[in-house]
Structure 1
Amino acid sequence: MHIYFANGLFSRADYDFNARLVKRLRLASGALDIYLPQENAAINDKNAYADSTMIAQADTQEVLRSDLMIAILDGPVIDAGVASEIGVAYAKQIPIFGLYTDSRQQGAMNPQKLTALQNVAENQFHYLNLYTTGLIKLNGEIFNSEEDLIKAVLAKA
């Protein structure tokens, strides 16, 4: 099974997270062929040069040959590149598994948090773009733990 792994890769934190989670997936099953864009030095060695069309062509080609996309949704907003990749995968009916681990999703039944929503600028929850998450849900699923994501990937493989 060919998997496209979509996440930002420019901060050390994202880069390390991507490498760690992809390693866990690869160890879980040798049947997984995972494309991790940061491993493609031809377009992502930032000491070298790749223009926007080179990057778009290389990553789009990998999205289109994928059987599944894993999209990381964490961050202040969904990474712009990840959102674009989700759109391409959805348009080609490639299943998408999102991972959303933001701790602000906790306490959804807490009455104080719910009451606070009535006050301006007191939203205790994180917002994700509903169009982008809707595309995922129309052709996949969103998980809130790495373990659940890995189980779902293995079940699909």
Structure 2
Amino acid sequence: MTFYIAHRLFAAHDRALAADLADRLAAKAGADRVFLPFCDTDEEDLVAEVKGRRLFELDRERLGRLDAMIAILHGPSLDDGVCMEIGYAAACGVPVVVLTTDFQTYSLTEAGTHLDFPDPLLQAVATRIVRMAKLGPALPTTPGPSRFRGFHARNVAQTSTALDAVVDALLELPTRAPLPTGSREASSTPMYVEASPYTPWGQDHLAKACMDTGHIVVVPQRFTASDPVSGALADLTAVCSAGRLLADVSGPETPPGTALLIGAALASGVRIAAYQPRPTYTHAHGREPNWRNLMIQYASEAHLANDEAVLSWLAA
């Protein structure tokens, strides 16, 4: 099997954690079977006319021929590039094992179903989730070390245990099975509209524009379904069989479920437009500015900044 490790690239401690996981997995599965982005695409020394697009192309090429994915996610604000890659893998039937260092759980209502992530889609597509639900037990210490070194040791030991559990889970994965999708008939293919939870204009703004121009519109079920995981699977299937995905990517990052659906749509050949009326740009040494995570930016065929741009894309 070929293993792809998806992780947040922009902080040294995340890269170090992913490298530790890659090294442990390589020791059991073979180094040539493990792909670690940033390390194996050699981003610092990569030369390309549009570097972000080239990085997107290299990662997408890998996503199209892997056997399993390991995704590292932390906290309520999940990396949108990782979530996009999870969606791509899920739509291709690739099993995904998720490692989370977040000890919190989440629910859509105060007394609702507890989930490992804020968006039910992550729960729905994960083959297995390895969590560190609380701080590990105190370790025996010798006299002298400070309490801070002892606390550090507890966390390192807990992380080590979780990484070993992820490796074991990967080596026991079932064979891949592609996600079932519906047929696409031009006369009845729906438009899937995904709103952003970070914006004040709500679900109806983009959906109404689509309906007013004669499109059949599908909107998310997972936030209103009595079973949010079943609703999430229905959303995923609907996106993979849609003709187009119109996604509001507004927020500090693309919302995690939205990013996942963009990845699934890309893998399924669905046209994608990203709506973002107030863009923010990221900058990295040697790379052009990006208006979103490069995996989101280059997966989208259009970046729509206003209502006129939406109407123009709908008419195309």
Change (3 A) 1:92 1:41: closer
Change (3 A) 1:66 1:8: same
Q: TM-score, normalised by structure 2?
A: 0.39
- Look up the match of 1:5: 5
**Secondary structure, in 3 states, of the residue corresponding to 2:8?**
coil
Change (3 A) 1:16 1:48: farther
Looking at structure 1, the residues matched to 66 and 13 of structure 2 have their Cα atoms a distance apart, in angstroms, of 25
Looking at structure 2, the residues matched to 90 and 156 of structure 1 have their Cα atoms a distance apart, in angstroms, of 14
Aligned-residue CA RMSD in angstroms?
2.8
140-149 or 94-103: which moved more? Answer: 140-149
Looking at structure 2, the residues matched to 104 and 46 of structure 1 have their Cα atoms a distance apart, in angstroms, of 38
Change (3 A) 1:54 1:85: same
- Look up the match of 1:143: 130
Change (3 A) 1:100 1:32: farther
Once the two structures are superposed, the pairs formed by residues 75-154 of structure 1 within 5 Å of their partners are: 75-105=75-105, 127-136=117-126, 140-144=127-131, 145-154=162-171
The one-letter code matched in structure 2 to 1:71 is A
Size of the aligned set, in residue pairs, is 137
State whether residues 70 and 99 of structure 2, in contact with CA within 8 Å, keep that contact through their aligned partners in structure 1.
Answer: yes
Looking at structure 1, the residues matched to 128 and 51 of structure 2 have their Cα atoms a distance apart, in angstroms, of 33
**Secondary structure, in 3 states, of the residue corresponding to 1:65?**
coil
Looking at structure 1, the residues matched to 85 and 117 of structure 2 have their Cα atoms a distance apart, in angstroms, of 20
Looking at structure 2, the residues matched to 57 and 3 of structure 1 have their Cα atoms a distance apart, in angstroms, of 18
Offset at residue 47 of structure 1 (A): 8.1
Looking at structure 2, the residues matched to 156 and 130 of structure 1 have their Cα atoms a distance apart, in angstroms, of 22
**Secondary structure, in 3 states, of the residue corresponding to 1:77?**
coil
Offset at residue 30 of structure 1 (A): 2.5
Change (3 A) 1:95 1:126: closer
Change (3 A) 1:31 1:127: closer
Higher relative contact order, structure no. (Cα contacts within 8 Å, ≥ 6 residues apart):
1
Looking at structure 1, the residues matched to 47 and 11 of structure 2 have their Cα atoms a distance apart, in angstroms, of 17
Looking at structure 2, the residues matched to 92 and 23 of structure 1 have their Cα atoms a distance apart, in angstroms, of 26
The one-letter code matched in structure 2 to 1:51 is K
Between Structure 1 and Structure 2, whose CA radius of gyration is higher? 2
State whether residues 86 and 96 of structure 1, in contact with CA within 8 Å, keep that contact through their aligned partners in structure 2.
Answer: yes
Looking at structure 1, the residues matched to 61 and 119 of structure 2 have their Cα atoms a distance apart, in angstroms, of 25
Q: Which has the higher helix share?
A: 1
State whether residues 95 and 173 of structure 2, in contact with CA within 8 Å, keep that contact through their aligned partners in structure 1.
Answer: no
Q: TM-score, normalised by structure 1?
A: 0.74
Cα deviation, 1:55-84, whole Å, max 9, x if unaligned, reads 221111101110001111214422100010
What percentage of residue pairs aligned between the two structures are identical?
Answer: 28
Unaligned runs of 5+ in 1: 109-116, 119-124
State whether residues 3 and 32 of structure 1, in contact with CA within 8 Å, keep that contact through their aligned partners in structure 2.
Answer: no
